Amino acid sequence: MDRSTLPPHVLIFPFPVQGHVNSMLKLAELLLLAGLDVTFLVTDYNHGRLLRYTNIQSRFDRFPGFRFETISDSLPDEHPRSGDRVMEIFDSLKAKTRPLLKELLISDHFTIGTRRPLTCIIADGVLGFALDVAEEIGIPVIYFRTISACSFWAYFCIPELIGAGEVPFTGDDLDVSIASVPGMEGFLRRRDLPSFCRAGDLADTNLQMVITETRQTPRAQALILNTFEDLEGPILSQIRTHCPKLYTIGPLHYHLKTRIAAENISPPTSSNSLWEEDRSCISWLDTQPLKSVIYVSFGSITIMTRDQVMEFWHGLVNSGKQFLWVIRPDSVAGSQIPAEILEGNKR
């Protein structure tokens, strides 16, 4: 068989938390709709949860060029893999999953059957070890970042912020302007930076991880961001001074929705959730006026104090708007979700 006539074959490898897996599954579906073959590399743990809580397998069965591949994150099953223990996932992947990835890539696993060998890898932009391994083997890597262009650029400029003495910072005045991020001088404040920028120690694990992973982005063959030019054009221009092959393909969810409609494909009946979904809100949402409900979610990593949760709740209530708030059970530091929120939201 002349494999050169077969479609390009892409391996997609997300960081194994909800928002990253969700975005990169949407990217996978768009590539499949464009006629490419896709292997989606996911941890054993997350693969099991996807099969348990979604109909994702049947949803992707309509694409003969798609398959899941699994790899171990080497963490025990009881590990929460969310909240303030996410860094443990990163450390385990870097130390223990890296050799497994290399073993997988140098095997004949991807040359069996009627598909091309891997054309390239689209790796999550925080998985620098995947870039290292692929470079050793000679497979091109394209990075995908799930964050906004503004967030990425602020992360990229952290070494400059440190050099200017703007990071790390202390004190309660969070409205101090940040001047060392080109293109964002007029609006960036301390409060807009992640909490690890307030660390008193430059050796802080989270701070160093973000610096290391973000600054190596130009090594990749290209960078994909889930945004669009009209939204973040000036910042995208700044990023292109370091990453000229930058592709903006967002918003992914709307792009995918449009493609599915154009192909006359039935829309999915489930999401890409790693948790069991509570769909009881759908009937309530269906009774609300169009574009009248505020949706609030802080993802699979954020940990808030009880005071922060209560402040958000009071703000939402005082807005006078209907809202739907998704709260992880482990998202409140040191306690469960405050009872007054659970009771108040029922009214």
Residue 194 falls within a domain, yes or no? no
Give the pLDDT score at 98: 95
Residue 325 falls within a domain, yes or no? yes
Q: In this structure, what CATH number is given to the domain that contains residue 215?
A: 3.40.50.2000
Residue 167 falls within a domain, yes or no? no
Residues 323 and 205 in one domain: no
Say if residues 129 and 101 touch (Cβ distance below 8 Å).
Answer: yes
The runs of H, that is alpha helices, within 198-318 are 205-215, 229-240, 252-262, 281-286, 306-318
Residues 131 and 228 in one domain: yes
Residues 209 and 336 in one domain: no
Mean pLDDT (10-residue bins), the chain, 347 residues: 80 94 95 96 94 87 92 91 84 94 89 82 97 97 97 96 91 90 94 85 87 97 98 97 97 92 77 79 92 89 84 91 84 67 58
Give the pLDDT score at 347: 53
Contacts 24+ apart (CB under 8 A), 278-282: 281/324
Residues 110 and 217 in one domain: yes
The amino acid occupying position 127 is L
Residues 339 and 302 in one domain: yes
Name the nearest CA neighbour of 253 among 65, 94, 25, 50. Answer: 25
Residue 39 falls within a domain, yes or no? yes
Residue 304 falls within a domain, yes or no? yes
Give the pLDDT score at 266: 76
Residue 130 falls within a domain, yes or no? yes
Residues 315 and 238 in one domain: no
β-strand pairing of 141-145 with 120-124: parallel
Residues spanned by the domain of 86: 3-151+201-263
121 beta partners: 11, 141
Residues 223 and 301 in one domain: no
Residues 250 and 284 in one domain: no
Residues 50 and 104 in one domain: yes
Residues 336 and 207 in one domain: no
Residues 86 and 35 in one domain: yes
Residues 131 and 62 in one domain: yes
Residue 37 falls within a domain, yes or no? yes
Name the nearest CA neighbour of 135 among 74, 20, 221. Answer: 221
Number of Cβ atoms within 10 Å of the Cβ of 31? 20
What is the total count of domains within the chain? 2
Give the pLDDT score at 235: 97
Residue 296 falls within a domain, yes or no? yes
Cβ neighbours of residue 115 under 8 Å, at least 6 residues apart?
A: 3, 6, 7, 9, 37, 65
* Residues noted as catalytic: 20, 124
Question: Which residue bears the tokens 């960078």?
Answer: 223
